[in-house]
């Protein structure tokens, strides 16, 4: 190598180090991770020809290396090809579409250039925060809009430049229909939790929304489950999409699943036992109705445990406050309906409890995916009654997974980070970790035909 070449290489290396040295990433996450996020091919974010300002946001957010879904989806998305991606919850799907969306934004154009659609208000708020964190050095303007907020505020905000619009379908359609949100030059259209967005509830709205977008557009669909409705949408609205399927198995590898066979009247007692014996960092407890959410939250509080609750019938401002405070660790336990099953990413949650067992495998999959986020360890415990026994068996079969009877002792290594477990052991050397009350000492129900 000539002296001139050496000098150029050294200068490039110094420049590379200088911009990185000024970054302030969060403390390194030392928790062990599963292959759901570590089984990559070795591609780095810096190999993807991303803008330096975007790379700065990526590293300052705490990302070090792409997860498998990011490694597969981002390079393809950057070529502006349509993408149909199927990956487990909690493996980095959001960044897999946010990063290429931000890369394509031209901040000199005061137009909406990326539309990111999600099915729930909470997920919209979370996705917009990811956009803002990753794009913090780019000067990109991100706006979130959902039902439950005033239309007047949205109209005021859209009078200024917005580059990335995140929201729920109904509100976006409302704004587009009133000519407030101009989507005519929006080249990037993303649907997260696409199976939900294409369900009968949203499908007519989606068809109308597409009419406001330009013919030349990039469509990206992300989800953990892809029923037939997604295939129909792909055939009708996508052009030779690049298909990614990282779902060789459906449930997260880091989530250990158990069931406790109980009577309905024993459930609260069983929950109390779990609270007293498990090392819970944060937990989410699911009920099947809004009434049961409020009743259970009151009982949990009466037992002496800190508890929030959230469901679809609450005011949006109250739901936002609960979500914000729980995410920031103000409270350890959250009782909720299936409102929070989709996409919500709270890294501190290591235990999910199905106080009411879900009716179908799709709901089960999304619920337990609230623990074990981004390849970390988690625990899912299901309180199963006699009436739930066939659902339990059917969900196991459909997901190709095994939900085991809850043991006398649950190894903390299955759901607690080593550092936290070591600290807890110092404080609680006498605790034996037994998590099953006498009321749960019943054998598994017998199914006709066996396993």
Closest CA to 114 of 29, 30, 40, 172: 172
For the cut 90, the answer to whether the pLDDT of residue 448 exceeds it is no
For the domain bounded by 255-440, which CATH number is listed?
3.40.50.300
For the cut 50, the answer to whether the pLDDT of residue 451 exceeds it is no
Predicted pLDDT of residue 56: 93
Predicted pLDDT of residue 168: 92
How confident is the model over 381-394, as pLDDT tens digits? 999 999 999 999 99
Predicted pLDDT of residue 440: 41
Predicted pLDDT of residue 227: 72
Q: Which residue has the higher pLDDT, 438 or 216?
A: 216
Q: What is the mean pLDDT of the chain?
A: 81
> For the chain, which residues make up each domain, given as ranges?
27-245, 255-440
Asked which of 164-178, 236-250, 426-440 is least confident by mean pLDDT, the reply is: 426-440
Predicted pLDDT of residue 86: 84
Task: Please state the pTM of the whole predicted model.
Answer: 0.61
Predicted pLDDT of residue 446: 34
Domain 27-245 has CATH 3.40.50.300: yes
Would 27-245 and 255-440 be classified into the same CATH topology?
yes
How confident is the model over 2-61, as pLDDT tens digits? 444 444 444 444 555 577 777 776 666 554 454 444 556 778 888 899 999 999 999 998
The DSSP string of 50-117 is --HHHHHHHHHHT--S--HHHHHHHHHHHTT--EEEE--TTSSHHHHHHHHHHHT--TTS-S--EEEE
Element (H, E) at 286: strand 282-286
Closest CA to 199 of 342, 93, 394, 313: 342
Predicted pLDDT of residue 11: 44
Predicted pLDDT of residue 65: 87
Predicted pLDDT of residue 307: 92
Q: Are 187 and 111 in contact (CB under 8 A)?
A: no
Q: Could you tell me which residues are beta bridge partners of residue 245?
A: 86
Q: Which residue has the tokens 């997604």?
A: 230
Q: How many helices (H) and strands (E) does the chain have?
A: 17, 14
How confident is the model over 301-339, as pLDDT tens digits? 999 998 999 988 888 788 888 888 988 889 999 999 886
For the cut 70, the answer to whether the pLDDT of residue 342 exceeds it is no
CB burial string 180-212: b at 16+ within 10 A, e below? bbebeebbbbbbbbbbbbbeeebeebbeebeeb
Q: Which residue has the higher pLDDT, 146 or 413?
A: 146
């Amino acid at each position: 190598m000539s002296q001139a070449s050496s000098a150029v290489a050294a200068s490039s290396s110094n420049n590379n180090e200088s911009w990185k040295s000024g970054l302030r990433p969060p403390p390194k996450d030392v928790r062990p991770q599963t292959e759901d996020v570590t089984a990559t091919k070795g591609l780095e974010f810096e190999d993807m020809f991303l803008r330096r300002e975007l790379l700065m946001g990526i590293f300052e957010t705490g990302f070090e290396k792409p997860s498998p879904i990011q490694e597969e989806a981002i390079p393809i998305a950057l070529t502006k090809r349509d993408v149909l991606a199927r990956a487990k919850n909690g493996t980095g799907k959001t960044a897999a579409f946010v990063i290429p969306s931000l890369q394509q934004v031209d901040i000199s154009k005061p137009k909406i250039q990326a539309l990111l659609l999600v099915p729930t208000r909470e997920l919209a708020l979370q996705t917009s925060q990811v956009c803002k964190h990753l794009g913090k050095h780019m000067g990109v303007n991100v706006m979130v809009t959902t039902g439950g907020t005033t239309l007047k505020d949205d109209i005021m905000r859209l009078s200024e430049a917005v580059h990335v619009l995140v929201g729920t379908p109904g509100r976006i359609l409302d704004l587009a229909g009133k000519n407030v949100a101009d989507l005519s030059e929006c080249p990037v259209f993303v649907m997260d939790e696409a199976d939900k967005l294409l369900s009968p509830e949203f499908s007519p709205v989606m068809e109308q929304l597409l009419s406001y977008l330009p013919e030349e557009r990039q469509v990206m669909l992300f989800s953990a489950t892809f029923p037939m409705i997604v295939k129909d949408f792909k055939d009708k609205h996508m052009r030779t999409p690049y298909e990614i399927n990282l779902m060789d198995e459906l449930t997260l590898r880091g989530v250990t699943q158990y069931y406790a066979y109980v009577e309905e009247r024993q459930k609260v007692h069983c929950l109390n036992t779990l609270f007293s014996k498990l090392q819970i960092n944060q937990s989410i407890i699911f009920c099947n109705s809004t009434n049961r959410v409020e009743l259970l939250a009151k009982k949990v509080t009466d037992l002496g445990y800190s508890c929030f609750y959230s469901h679809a019938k609450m005011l949006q401002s109250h739901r936002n406050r609960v979500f914000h405070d729980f995410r920031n660790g103000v409270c350890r336990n959250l009782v909720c309906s299936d409102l929070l099953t989709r996409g919500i990413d709270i890294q501190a949650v290591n235990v999910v409890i199905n106080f009411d067992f879900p009716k179908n495998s799709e709901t089960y999959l999304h619920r337990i995916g609230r623990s074990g986020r981004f390849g970390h360890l988690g625990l899912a415990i299901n309180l199963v009654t006699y009436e739930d026994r066939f659902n339990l068996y059917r969900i196991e079969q459909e997901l190709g997974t095994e939900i085991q009877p809850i043991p006398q002792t649950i190894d903390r290594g299955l759901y607690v980070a080593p550092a936290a477990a070591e600290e807890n052991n110092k404080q609680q050397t006498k605790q034996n970790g037994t998590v099953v009350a006498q009321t749960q000492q019943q054998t598994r129900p017998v199914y006709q035909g066996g396993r």
